[in-house]
């Protein structure tokens, strides 16, 4: 009898453990995003393309969340103050990935949003910048910005890290980073109306990039765009970037960048 009771108790304990684990798994399941302007307070996934008229796409409502667009597109109507991804409240450690933001005022806006991660994102047709982020230690991976009315990608903050990304035919700079210890690697800037890649800040690392036909693209002519322009001290390795066919014949400043 005692052994039977022990067995029953063990089964009860196992059932409780399984139930708790299942509940925890359910609690961690991402929230579906199915409507424009939805506020996301835990990790979430987009379930379909969205057409957002006079509304933002997705509003970040908590730190540490991941917003996975799952390859879908969020369309705006270029309404003022409406952003594809809106992190104006400055939540930190947010990840935005895998999708397209099209025809918003700004594609993505993060204000005082430290350690923001952008991966596999495309922003196009914005009135202003494709991606605009103010925050430290921002990371951009395998993302693109094209045909925006301002800069393709703009980051203001220390230790920004942009890799394997691209910016084309934007009416400002292709990629612009302002802040110390920036790194821009293995990225492409083509046909932007001003500079292809520009960095303002000390101790920047700019290597393995291609900047072509900037200052002459996007309907602009003769605005003096460089392929690469870095203000401040640039750390090595030098001479690993390629710049060609840009409006400013100097191509790179300082020249050792190319």
What's the confidence (pLDDT) of residue 192? 97
Q: 3-state class of 111 per DSSP? A: strand
Quick: pLDDT tens for 31-57: 999 999 999 999 999 999 999 999 999
pLDDT of residue 28: 73
Write down the residue that tokens 């990039």 correspond to: 209
Q: What is the pLDDT of residue 216?
A: 78
List of the chain residues with pLDDT < 50: 1-26, 218
> Could you tell me if 25 and 55 are in contact, meaning their C-beta atoms sit under 8 angstroms apart?
no
Contacts of 84 (CB under 8 A, 6+ apart): 56, 57, 58, 74, 76, 101, 102, 104, 106, 107, 108, 123, 126
- pLDDT of the residue at 184: 96
How many domains does the structure of the chain reveal? 1
- Say which residue the tokens 């307070």 belong to: 41
Residue 190's domain spans which residues?
A: 2-257
Residue 237: the pLDDT is: 61
Q: What is the pLDDT of residue 160?
A: 98
In the chain, the N- to C-terminal Cα span, in Å, equals 83
Question: b/e string for 200-216 if b means 16 or more Cβ within 10 A?
Answer: bbeebbbbebbbbbbbb
């Amino acid at each position: 009898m005692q052994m039977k009771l022990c067995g029953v108790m063990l089964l009860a304990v196992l059932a409780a453990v399984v139930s708790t684990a299942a509940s925890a798994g359910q609690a961690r399941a991402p929230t579906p995003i199915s409507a424009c302007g939805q506020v996301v307070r835990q990790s979430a996934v987009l379930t379909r393309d969205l057409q957002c008229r006079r509304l933002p796409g997705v509003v970040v409502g908590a730190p540490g969340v991941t917003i996975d667009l799952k390859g879908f597109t969020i369309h705006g109507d270029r309404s003022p103050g409406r952003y594809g991804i809106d992190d104006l409240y400055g939540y930190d450690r947010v990840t935005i990935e895998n999708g397209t933001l099209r025809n918003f005022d700004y594609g993505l806006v993060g204000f005082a949003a430290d350690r923001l991660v952008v991966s596999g994102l495309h922003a196009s047709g914005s009135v202003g910048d494709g991606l605009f982020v103010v925050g430290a230690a921002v990371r951009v991976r395998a993302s693109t910005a094209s045909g925006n009315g301002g800069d393709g990608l703009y980051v203001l903050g220390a230790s920004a890290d942009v890799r394997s990304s691209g910016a084309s035919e934007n009416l400002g700079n292709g990629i612009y980073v302002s802040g110390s210890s920036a790194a821009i690697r293995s990225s492409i800037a083509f046909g932007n109306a001003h500079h292809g890649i520009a960095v303002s800040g000390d101790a920047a690392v700019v290597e393995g990039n291609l900047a072509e036909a900037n200052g002459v693209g996007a309907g602009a002519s003769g605005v003096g765009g460089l392929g690469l322009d870095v203000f401040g001290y640039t750390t090595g390795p030098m001479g690993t970037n390629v710049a060609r066919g840009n409006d400013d014949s100097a191509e790179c400043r300082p020249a050792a960048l190319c």
